[in-house]
């Protein structure tokens, strides 16, 4: 259930995006770059990454530089106070996945967001100090730089420090965004981002001296953020505001290198995010089911191809709800979920002419491991997940590639700025199930797999993904958008592989989404009424846009992707017109 303040934010954002360009009339040509490219939601951040590669850095150097720059120029989602996932695939074929997701502090408890009557306390898990998970972004970016970069941390952080100190001119959207009313609830956020009520105007230069100083301290002594004076200052600010994070929590934080999830789709290898993200496993399960159909022949966005795609989405999200969580706290049966025999059995359950009601789904009995697990873990409604994350993709001249999806969860996170440190903290605790073990409004039982627990990482949908052909990375994909991240990445990938689109056309193409529950198909506003009619005749409850009470968001997600031209080897960058990002290359 969404809170009234979320609805207001969504309405506000809908008004902000109303002026955005229409993918249907946007350029269908990706940006061509002979050597290297960065695609992100902010032109300045993309330029930073490119400059770092021109100065001799590799894709990892560029990704880390871009990440720190986004923390300056895109404070609504770019961050050093949140977490993320970085998928790296070097030109030699080695793939690595860095998990620097936020972690619940030691004092976190399963029922911390419930009142004495056992009801969820409105807003407690998403606004303010108690919503904050131990941030992982600094650890993750420093780890990546030190292990896989060619330059020094100081070199790659220098552009972000300069942007913070000298400032940058705010666009109209950025200036409007900074009016966020929840930022105003926290004096330090109001001081830093709203100039204590004298709001920044479009075109005005926004300088962040506190953040510049914090970034300098990290560049000088990265360990300080978790083990030194920065950790102590951050912990003191959290304690003062009533938060749970202590210096010990920060000291305990660690980056985890995990095995990425791997699958194949029509001759391509797909490499993606493992748990605690559900993204990779759900994406590959979807693709495995769809491999059984000749989608290209049915036609791009035809009702028939959409029908099969939605049925695959529905089944994979049903499994997501049941099986996904932090792999350090529960055994997640990923191998079975991405097994092609399992997909083939799911495909048998799809009626070619009719929608399957979500409530009637029955998991095929292929693997006893799935059945045993399912018996103890009834399916759950996904908790609310924020749309406000950001993704960026990088490829260098040698063919090394990096896909990063990073988040502070909601737009401007918890809205808390650490006293004197100049950066916003996440509200990632909201990605846990706040009320496990009790039937929700739809009569479904919340599972323990994603219950709050000390040291645990909340379930994510972030899906940084690479597609490989003949040993070479040919696509770097990703998007924000909570559960819609997964269907957005699937839609973009299928746009290229099944429907022969170039990467920009695939990013532009209208999106559709189903996540098992609620049992609706959301379609972006550019679908024809004829297609909607055909889907309705198949039994679908179709909603145009995303409906939040009386408010409707006409479109969603912000894919920032790269493909490689098979003939010329050029890097082709596709930034999503829906959110005004930029592909920059050389
Ligand atoms: N907070 C969004 C996600 O992790 O999927």
196-242 residue pLDDT tens: 999 999 999 999 999 999 999 999 999 999 999 999 999 999 999 99
389 noted as active-site residue? yes
| Start-to-end C-alpha separation, the chain | 46
Taking residues 430-434, what's their average pLDDT? 87
Ligand 1 proximity of 389 Cβ (cutoff 6 Å): yes
Dump strand ranges (E) for 463-581. 465-469, 472-477, 512-513, 521-523, 542-544, 546-548, 551-553, 560-564, 571-575
Question: What is the rounded distance in angstroms from the CA atom of residue 426 to the CA atom of residue 170?
Answer: 22
What SS3 class is residue 342? helix
Beta partners for 33?
571
Task: Kindly report the protein residue whose alpha carbon is nearest to atom 4 of ligand 1.
Answer: 460
Ligand 1 proximity of 462 Cβ (cutoff 6 Å): yes
What pTM value is reported for the model? 0.94
Ligand 1 proximity of 288 Cβ (cutoff 6 Å): no
Question: What is the rounded distance in angstroms from the CA atom of residue 205 to the CA atom of residue 56?
Answer: 30
More confident residue, 21 or 148: 148
Work out the widest C-alpha separation in the chain, in whole angstroms.
64
Question: What is the rounded distance in angstroms from the CA atom of residue 456 to the CA atom of residue 429?
Answer: 10
Q: How many whole angstroms from 350 Cα to the centroid of ligand 1? A: 29
Taking residues 320-346, what's their average pLDDT? 94
Query: What is the pLDDT, as a whole number, of residue 24?
Result: 67
- Return all residues near 269 (Cβ < 8 A) that are at least 6 apart: 262, 263, 467, 468, 469
Q: What is the mean pLDDT of the chain?
A: 92
Question: What is the rounded distance in angstroms from the CA atom of residue 482 to the CA atom of residue 409?
Answer: 9
Question: What is the rounded distance in angstroms from the CA atom of residue 156 to the CA atom of residue 578?
Answer: 29
Q: How far is CA 90 from the centre of its chain?
A: 22
Taking residues 74-96, what's their average pLDDT? 98
pLDDT at residue 378 tops 70: no
> What percent of the chain lies above the pLDDT cut of 70?
92
Among 407, 456, 487, 488, say which to mutate for ligand 1: greatest number of ligand atoms within 8 Å of CB: 407
Cα angle value 508/513/519 (rounded, 5°): 165
Q: Round the CA-based radius of gyration of the chain to a whole number and report it.
A: 22
Query: What is the pLDDT, as a whole number, of residue 369?
Result: 75
Ligand 1 proximity of 483 Cβ (cutoff 6 Å): no
- Return all residues near 232 (Cβ < 8 A) that are at least 6 apart: 247
Residue 2 banded pLDDT, cuts 50, 70, 90:
very low
In angstroms, the Cα distances linking 483 to 85, 490, 524 are 16, 12, 15
pLDDT at residue 12 tops 60: no
- Return all residues near 443 (Cβ < 8 A) that are at least 6 apart: none
Ligand 1 proximity of 473 Cβ (cutoff 6 Å): no
pLDDT at residue 356 tops 80: yes
The two tokens of residue 299 are 């036609």
- Return all residues near 119 (Cβ < 8 A) that are at least 6 apart: none
Question: What is the rounded distance in angstroms from the CA atom of residue 214 to the CA atom of residue 217?
Answer: 5
Annotated active-site residue in 214, 246, 309, 389: 389
């Amino acid at each position: 259930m969404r809170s009234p303040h979320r609805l207001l934010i969504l309405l506000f954002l809908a008004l902000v995006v109303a002026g955005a360009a229409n993918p249907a009339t946007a350029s269908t040509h990706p940006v061509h770059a002979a050597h290297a490219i960065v695609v992100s939601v902010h032109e300045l951040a993309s330029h930073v990454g490119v400059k770092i590669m021109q100065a001799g850095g590799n894709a990892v150097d560029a990704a880390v530089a871009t990440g720190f720059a986004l923390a300056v120029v895109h404070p609504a989602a770019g961050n050093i106070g949140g977490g993320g996932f970085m998928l790296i695939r070097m030109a030699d074929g080695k793939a690595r996945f860095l998990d620097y997701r936020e972690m619940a502090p030691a004092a976190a408890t399963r029922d911390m967001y419930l009142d004495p009557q056992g009801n969820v306390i409105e807003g407690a898990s998403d606004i303010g100090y108690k919503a904050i998970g131990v941030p992982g972004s600094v650890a993750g970016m420093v780890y990546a730089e030190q292990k896989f970069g060619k330059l020094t941390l100081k070199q790659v952080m220098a552009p972000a420090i300069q942007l913070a100190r000298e400032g940058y001119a705010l666009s109209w959207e950025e200036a409007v965004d900074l009016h966020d009313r929840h930022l105003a609830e926290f004096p330090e956020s109001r001081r830093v981002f709203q100039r204590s009520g004298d709001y920044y105007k479009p075109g005005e230069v926004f300088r962040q001296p506190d953040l510049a100083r914090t970034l300098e301290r990290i560049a000088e002594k990265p360990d300080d953020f978790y083990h030194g004076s920065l950790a102590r200052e951050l912990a003191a600010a959290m304690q003062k505001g009533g938060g749970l994070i202590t210096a010990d929590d920060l000291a305990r934080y660690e980056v985890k290198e995990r095995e990425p999830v791997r699958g194949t789709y029509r001759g391509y290898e797909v490499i993606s995010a493992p748990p605690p993200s559900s993204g990779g496993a759900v994406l590959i399960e979807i693709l495995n089911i769809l491999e059984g159909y000749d989608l290209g022949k049915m036609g791009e966005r035809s009702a028939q191809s959409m029908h099969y795609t939605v049925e695959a989405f529905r089944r994979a999200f049903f499994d997501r709800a049941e099986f996904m969580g932090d792999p350090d706290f529960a055994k997640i049966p990923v191998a079975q979920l991405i097994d092609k025999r399992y997909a083939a059995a799911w495909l048998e359950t799809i009626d070619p002419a009719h929608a399957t009601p979500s409530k009637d789904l029955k998991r095929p009995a292929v693997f006893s491991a799935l059945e045993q697990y399912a018996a103890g873990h009834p399916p759950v409604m996904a908790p609310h997940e924020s749309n406000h994350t950001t993704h960026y993709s990088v490829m260098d001249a040698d063919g090394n590639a990096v896909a990063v999806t990073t988040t502070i969860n909601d737009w401007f996170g918890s809205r808390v700025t650490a006293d004197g440190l100049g950066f916003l903290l996440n509200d990632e605790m909201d990605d846990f199930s706040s009320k496990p073990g009790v039937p929700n409004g739809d009569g479904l039982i919340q599972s323990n797999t994603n219950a709050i627990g000390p040291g645990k990482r909340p379930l994510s949908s972030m899906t940084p993904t690479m597609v490989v052909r003949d040993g070479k990375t040919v696509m770097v994909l990703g998007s924000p958008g909570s559960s819609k991240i997964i269907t957005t990445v699937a839609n973009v990938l299928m746009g290229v592989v099944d429907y022969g689109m170039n990467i920009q056309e695939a990013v532009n193409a209208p999106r559709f989404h189903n996540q098992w529950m609620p049992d609706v198909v959301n379609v972006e506003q550019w679908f024809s009424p004829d297609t909607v009619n055909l889907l309705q005749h198949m039994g679908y409850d179709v909603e145009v846009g995303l409906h939040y009470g009386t408010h409707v968001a006409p479109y969603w997600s912000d894919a920032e992707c790269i493909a490689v031209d098979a003939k010329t080897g050029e890097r082709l960058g596709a930034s999503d017109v829906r959110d005004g990002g930029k592909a920059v290359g050389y």
